């Protein structure tokens, strides 16, 4: 596989060129980049990588939850519904509020993990794959990540494979779900941007983002 993008995410300066939507906070940490919400309890955010990626990629990074509740997710294959980029003229301005992403004018897939924002999410841990626009829940698997108190600052390796219509998700090489898009929920997501998202008040650390072409 060919390496398309690598970012150590070792310092806030590694986010130079990334586009932030909502009150994203970033600070240097001794073992990675710490991301948090710089606003209030309902002020969530998204950070978009400056690169756009092809239809067949493997995306990996390391994640370490440090304070909960909250939720983490990755958008991938994000593009305008009209067929261009998510920052094109005519695409609605986004401020980090979730409906702008799942039912707006961008087409994307997103996987949510470490879902601890709401009481029902903490009672039954799952990883969810949704397709937008339309907020379609298309795949779901168990979430093996422990709460912060038991994670004890450990990092977990997360992997998303998007092989054209097929998507697979794993944590520490444990397969959690796979799904193939039959387009019953609308046109297939293809090439596009990736972006990290957190729901407040989650604090988490990231490092070693890599994107490879399949």
User: Which pLDDT tens digit goes with each residue over 73-108?
Assistant: 999 999 999 999 999 999 999 999 999 999 999 999
Q: Tell me, what's the pLDDT at 39?
A: 86
Closest CA to 115 of 18, 29, 199, 211: 199
Sign of the Cα torsion 69, 195, 186, 2 reads: negative
CA within 13 Å, CB half, 208:
11
Rounded to whole angstroms, the Cα distance separating 18 from 141 reads: 30
Residues of the chain under the 70 pLDDT cut = none
Cα dihedral: 154, 30, 71, 96 (round 10): -160
Rounded to whole angstroms, the Cα distance separating 186 from 11 reads: 39
Q: How many residues does the chain have?
A: 214
Q: Tell me, what's the pLDDT at 1?
A: 85
Sign of the Cα torsion 114, 120, 123, 129 reads: negative
Q: Tell me, what's the pLDDT at 41?
A: 87
- Model-level pTM? 0.96
Domains in the chain, please, with CATH?
2-213 (2.60.120.200)
Give yes or no for a contact between 52 and 192, defined as CB atoms under 8 angstroms apart.
Answer: yes
Give yes or no for a contact between 194 and 53, defined as CB atoms under 8 angstroms apart.
Answer: yes
């Amino acid at each position: 596989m060919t390496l398309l993008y690598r970012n150590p995410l070792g310092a806030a300066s590694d986010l130079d060129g990334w586009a932030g939507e909502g009150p994203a906070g970033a600070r240097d940490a001794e073992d990675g980049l710490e991301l948090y919400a710089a606003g209030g309890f309902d002020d969530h955010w998204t950070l978009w990588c400056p690169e756009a990626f092809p239809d067949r990629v493997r995306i990996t990074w390391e994640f370490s939850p440090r304070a909960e509740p909250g939720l983490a997710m990755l958008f991938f294959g994000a593009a305008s519904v009209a067929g261009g980029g998510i920052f094109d003229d005519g695409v609605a301005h986004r401020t980090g509020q979730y409906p702008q992403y799942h039912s707006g004018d961008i087409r994307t897939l997103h996987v949510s993990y470490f879902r601890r924002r709401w009481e029902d999410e903490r009672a039954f841990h799952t990883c969810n794959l949704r397709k937008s626009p339309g907020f379609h829940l298309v795949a779901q698997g168990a979430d093996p990540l422990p709460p912060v108190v038991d994670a004890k600052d450990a990092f977990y390796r997360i992997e998303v494979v998007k092989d054209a219509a097929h998507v697979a998700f794993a944590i520490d090489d444990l397969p959690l779900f796979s799904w193939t898009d039959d387009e019953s929920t609308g046109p297939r997501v293809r090439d596009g941007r990736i972006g990290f998202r957190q729901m407040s008040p989650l604090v988490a650390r990231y490092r070693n983002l890599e994107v490879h072409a399949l």
